[in-house]
Amino acid sequence: MDGFCDAATLAELLGDWAAGHGPLYRKLGAAIGNSITAGELPAGLRLPSERDLAKLLLVSRATVVAAYDELRGGGLLDSVRGSGTRVSAAVRPQLAGADGQVPGGRATSIFQRLVDGPGQVISLARAAEPAAPQLRDAFLDLGRDDLSDLMADAGYHPRGLPVLREAICDHFVAQLLPTTASQVLVTNGAQQVLGLVARMYLTPGCTVVVESPSWPGCLDVFRDAGARLVSVPLDEDGIRPDALAKAFAEHNPVLAYLMPTYHNPTGALLSANRRKRVAELAAQYRVPVLEDNAYAGFPTLSGAQAPPPIAAFAQTHDDAQILSVGSLAKSVWAGLRIGWVRGPSAVIERLARYKARADLGNAVLDQALAARLLPKLTDITAARREVLLRRLHQLQDLLATHLPDWRWRSPEGGSALWVELPDTDAQVFAQVALRHGVEVVPGSATDPSGGHDNHIRLPFTLPDADELVRRLAEAWADLRG
């Protein structure tokens, strides 16, 4: 293979390589060696120079030189004058996954942390709350009910349990979006919708329009399908319709992926006027729009109520194909893997076939539980608002006191601050933060255009903000010093 792995990509694969005991060069060499033997770094691939990797990892060049030397001695690397350091052609990788690592991508560290567990590291890779108290009550109520009819059923519902699909229809009707059961598909969380949509719409070389920044997990799904990503910038009110129209006209995309309600990671809320304009553009250019409203179950933090979904503004546009995604993972509990997608009946029918092939349908008891919770979503959201507001204000006060150079804008909703680090590459800061026990998601993972390399996503859902900010402040002082 004749290719090149830059320092940023290699750093993504290495994860928290500096954790544990022992000399840095040996830990670095072991981490690179694991990626080689696992096949993440294939034979013939040229690695970054010692200087470039040292600069990004914020270690001495001698540390990288020593790590590379150990790998050469072990037969994993070759160096030829004029062609750099390459993975040895003699390397034979293990079976895929034998190293215990999640396959590569910008969201690798996020998913790897879910697999490994947090350990002693405070991970900012996720922003999840414990289960809402109403979940326990609904679970006990379900257990007290006569489930004879439910359990007499065969248990296979690839489109979703009928009672849950009806509850989802009522949920959309309350948002001024008339919906029938034929327009709804129940999924294993919002993440599965992305995979199903990618399978149905995307082919190698096609173009997908995404926001800049966006969530790394969705970008990886689209990249894995072979799509080329075109980024459209945001402002404080969400995606810019003028830039979206330009992207549609110039790139002829097969799909657009947007997060209109409490955008992740910025927390922006797309206005009703902009949603209407997006619906018009979708119809004009015949570009399907996947609107991910998984964070809509979070309460408003600014007081501004979320407008109806984009699909509600497309009802008079026959050529607009809008798929609206929702989930209980953020609002109720991430452990309740219930999501859904609403769209034109013909599209939902096709997606249901992909869903049936993937898993034959969600667990029936989970769906029955979700059907009881969905009508209570407004009350669940209201109850969480005060807790989230208190944590948001606490985190902002701590940052203002201990990290006064950092800049951010208070979000309309969601679960995190989008923080700008002055004159700093966030990937470099992430390496320092790991040594202080904090796993940071740098902006480069969220933006393929490179426009947010100096940002980090900082969740305010963590209960111990004092310890988090203390570690971040120490890492920042270490970096600046």
Among residues of the chain, what percentage have pLDDT more than 70? 94
- Tell me the per-residue pLDDT of 209-236, one tens digit each, with 9 for 90 and over: 999 999 999 999 999 999 999 999 999 9
> Would you say residue 189 lies in a domain?
yes
The answer to whether the CB of 32 falls within 8 A of the CB of 87 is: no
**From CA 64, how far away is CA 55, in angstroms rounded?**
10
Cα separation of the two ends of the chain: 41
Cβ count within 10 A of residue 291: 26
- Does residue 469 share a domain with residue 456? yes
- Does residue 400 share a domain with residue 358? no
The answer to whether the CB of 354 falls within 8 A of the CB of 199 is: yes
Residue among 455, 452, 461, 412 nearest 260 (CA):
412
- Does residue 151 share a domain with residue 70? no
**From CA 240, how far away is CA 83, in angstroms rounded?**
44
Question: pLDDT digit of tens for each residue in the chain (481 aa)?
Answer: 468 999 988 988 888 888 778 999 999 999 999 999 988 899 999 999 999 999 999 899 999 999 999 999 999 999 877 779 999 988 877 655 544 555 555 555 555 545 555 557 899 988 777 899 999 999 998 888 878 778 888 888 999 999 999 999 999 999 999 999 999 999 999 999 999 999 999 999 999 999 999 999 999 999 999 999 999 999 999 999 999 999 999 999 999 999 999 999 999 999 999 999 999 999 999 999 999 999 988 888 988 889 999 999 999 998 899 999 999 998 899 899 999 999 999 999 999 999 999 999 999 999 999 999 999 999 998 888 989 999 999 999 999 999 999 999 999 999 999 999 999 999 999 999 999 999 999 999 999 788 999 999 999 988 889 999 999 999 999 999 8
Q: What is the CATH number of the domain that holds 88?
A: 1.10.10.10
Q: What is the CATH number of the domain that holds 261?
A: 3.40.640.10
> Would you say residue 253 lies in a domain?
yes
> Would you say residue 107 lies in a domain?
no
> Would you say residue 460 lies in a domain?
yes
Cβ count within 10 A of residue 154: 6
- Does residue 203 share a domain with residue 192? yes
- Does residue 350 share a domain with residue 203? yes
- Does residue 273 share a domain with residue 321? yes
282 Cβ contact list (under 8 Å, min separation 6):
256, 288, 289, 310, 314, 317, 319, 320, 321, 322
- CA 155 distance to own-chain centroid: 31
> Would you say residue 112 lies in a domain?
no
- Does residue 366 share a domain with residue 247? yes
Dihedral Cα 119, 120, 121, 126, nearest 10 deg: 40
- Does residue 253 share a domain with residue 214? yes
Query: Which tokens is 357 given?
Result: 């092939």
Structural domains of the chain, count: 3
Which one-letter DSSP state was computed for residue 145? S
CA within 13 Å, CB half, 402: 19
> Would you say residue 302 lies in a domain?
yes
Q: Which domain holds residue 30?
A: 3-99
> Would you say residue 109 lies in a domain?
no
Helix axes 377-402, 465-480, angle to 10 degrees: 40
- Does residue 390 share a domain with residue 284? no
- Does residue 352 share a domain with residue 370? yes
- Does residue 364 share a domain with residue 248? yes
Q: What is the CATH number of the domain that holds 405?
A: 3.90.1150.10
> Would you say residue 228 lies in a domain?
yes
- Does residue 89 share a domain with residue 9? yes
The answer to whether the CB of 305 falls within 8 A of the CB of 315 is: no
- Tell me the per-residue pLDDT of 183-219, one tens digit each, with 9 for 90 and over: 999 999 999 999 999 999 999 999 999 999 999 999 9
Question: In terms of pTM, does the model score above 0.95?
Answer: no
